[in-house]
């Protein structure tokens, strides 16, 4: 049967989260919806990019996209309950009976691109039959008589997505008075760093790693499961606050740190060694989140008053900063996604941008797996630091 997308559910709409959860526990057997109240705009918290003030580049045209781009925000979060539904640990898809694919778990109204045909390339339950995407029979799919809630969407392997896509909702559910043995948190096999995060949040003992497609009495899904990282809401605050509380941070003189992207070649900074050498001269410490233990990262970031970093998942760590810290994001001008800017707004941090012109990739770059490359203009970076950090003229 062909896949049919559903944007949301029709039927009963709960007026409060309490009503929604009580109906689930009482065995309400129809689809149900609960939507949180609207979130405030963050325009008054995060400044739009202003050339020479909080946005720096060799030429103003490199940041023109930031001038007209509105501050991204969500108008609330939607929770849905879907009776007798299937969860896929391959694509993190949520499929309701009748082969209805809940689009909110894979796409958002905030503009995250979604291509249905891509599911058939890595999830064996989907088939692409001449452009028609269908779903294999559920007959042999295991059934579990529980209410299941995914902890994340298809971005789960990425550090930033794992922390910000759905985990806040799972933590809220686990912390509610309604959570009992009838509920379980679900997803795929966890890497060691993912297990560590769930353990620190007190969620690991309630987590069921699924080896294959599984059906549940009810699937509890929400619109944070994918793309919430691009436009995070206040749901991410408890996740980072609890992780930070779990580390005995030793307060030191406030420091300056640079967060790099390790060996990643997605957005490759060609002259990183030159950038790091200059930053060390300016009193910065270098932090590579891919090899630094969580406790050490929390310690470093919590004490940082200035954070410079390469745009990417590692910038999620700025959420451990004290309110009022300054964050300078370095990234190619063709990648103005703005999610670090939004995170800074949620956590009360001052965001700055250093936009760099992307390079034309050579055949050698492509053979090395480089997807995007750029070089940082050192003079532009120094100008940004003079604006941000009054300690260095």
Q: Give tens-digit pLDDT for 273-286.
A: 999 999 999 999 99
153 with 295, same domain: the answer is no
223 with 266, same domain: the answer is no
81 with 204, same domain: the answer is yes
Half-sphere exposure of 260 (CA within 13 A, CB side): 22
pLDDT in tens, 205-216: 999 999 999 999
> Do the domain assignments include residue 69?
no
Position with higher pLDDT, 150 vs 262: 150
166 with 304, same domain: the answer is no
CB 93 within 8 A of CB 386: no
55-90: burial string, b at 16+ Cβ within 10 Å, e else:
bbbeeeebbbebeeeebbbbeebbbbbbbebbbbbb
CA pair distance 161, 73, nearest whole angstrom:
17
> Do the domain assignments include residue 197?
yes
Kindly tell me if the per-residue pLDDT of 223 is higher than 70: yes
> Do the domain assignments include residue 301?
yes
193 with 335, same domain: the answer is no
18 with 162, same domain: the answer is yes
Q: What is the average per-residue pLDDT within 235-239?
A: 92
Position with higher pLDDT, 98 vs 272: 272
> Do the domain assignments include residue 393?
no
195 with 300, same domain: the answer is no
Share of the chain above pLDDT 90, in %: 40
119 with 195, same domain: the answer is yes
Domain count, the chain: 2
- DSSP H helical segments within the chain, as ranges? 17-25, 64-68, 159-164, 167-175, 192-200, 236-245, 272-281, 294-302, 339-347, 363-367, 378-388
> Do the domain assignments include residue 165?
yes
> Do the domain assignments include residue 304?
yes
* 195, 211, 235 - which closes a domain: 235
Share of the chain above pLDDT 70, in %: 88
228 with 252, same domain: the answer is no
Which residues form the domain of 347? 247-388
Interstrand relation of 183-187 and 32-35 (parallel, antiparallel or unpaired): unpaired
* 172, 203, 235 - which closes a domain: 235
CA pair distance 360, 373, nearest whole angstrom:
8
> Do the domain assignments include residue 127?
yes
pLDDT in tens, 186-202: 999 999 999 999 999 99
Kindly tell me if the per-residue pLDDT of 246 is higher than 50: yes
pLDDT given at position 45? 40
> Do the domain assignments include residue 57?
no
Q: What is the average per-residue pLDDT within 328-356?
A: 85
Kindly tell me if the per-residue pLDDT of 375 is higher than 90: yes
pLDDT in tens, 309-318: 998 888 999 9
* 235, 262, 284 - which closes a domain: 235
CA pair distance 314, 299, nearest whole angstrom:
15
Q: Which two tokens stand for residue 62?
A: 């490199």
173 with 89, same domain: the answer is yes
> What CATH number has the domain bearing residue 331?
3.40.50
161 with 32, same domain: the answer is yes
Largest Cα separation within the chain, whole Å, is 69
Q: How many CB atoms are located within 10 Å of the residue 277 CB?
A: 12
308 with 280, same domain: the answer is yes
């Amino acid at each position: 049967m062909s896949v049919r997308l559903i944007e949301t559910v029709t039927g009963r709409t709960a007026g409060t989260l309490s009503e929604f959860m009580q109906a689930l526990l009482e065995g309400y057997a129809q689809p149900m919806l609960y939507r949180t109240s609207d979130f405030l705009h963050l325009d008054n918290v995060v400044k739009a990019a202003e050339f020479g003030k909080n946005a720096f580049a060799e030429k103003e045209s490199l940041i023109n996209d930031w001038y007209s781009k509105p501050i991204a925000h969500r108008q609330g979060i939607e929770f849905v309950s879907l009776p007798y539904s299937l969860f896929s640990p391959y694509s993190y898809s949520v499929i309701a009976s009748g082969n209805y694919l809940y689009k909110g778990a894979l796409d958002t109204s905030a503009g995250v691109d979604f291509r249905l045909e891509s599911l058939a390339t890595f999830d064996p339950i989907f088939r692409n039959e001449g452009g028609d995407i269908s779903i294999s029979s559920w007959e042999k799919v295991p059934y579990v008589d529980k209410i299941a809630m995914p902890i994340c969407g298809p971005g789960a392997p990425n550090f930033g997505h794992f922390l910000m896509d759905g985990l806040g909702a799972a933590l809220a559910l686990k912390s509610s008075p309604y959570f009992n043995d009838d509920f379980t948190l679900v997803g795929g096999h966890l890497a060691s760093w993912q297990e560590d995060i769930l353990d620190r949040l007190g969620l690991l003992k309630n987590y069921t790693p699924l080896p294959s497609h599984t059906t549940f009495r009810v699937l509890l899904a929400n619109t944070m499961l994918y793309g919430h990282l691009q436009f995070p809401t206040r749901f991410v605050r408890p996740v980072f606050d609890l992780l930070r509380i779990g580390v005995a941070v030793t307060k030191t003189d406030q420091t300056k740190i640079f967060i790099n992207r390790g060996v990643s070649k997605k957005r490759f900074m060609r002259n990183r060694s030159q950038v790091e050498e200059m930053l060390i001269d300016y009193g910065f410490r270098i932090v590579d989140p891919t090899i630094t233990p969580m406790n050490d990262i929390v310690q470093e970031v919590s004490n940082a008053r200035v954070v410079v970093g390469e745009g990417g998942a590692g910038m999620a760590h700025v959420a451990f900063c004290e309110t009022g810290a300054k964050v300078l994001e370095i990234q190619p001008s063709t990648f103005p996604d703005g999610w670090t800017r939004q995170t800074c707004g949620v956590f009360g941090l001052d965001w700055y941008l250093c936009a760099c012109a992307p390079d034309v990739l050579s055949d050698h770059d492509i053979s090395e797996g480089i997807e995007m490359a750029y070089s940082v203009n050192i003079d532009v970076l120094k100008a940004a630091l003079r604006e941000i950090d009054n300690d260095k003229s």
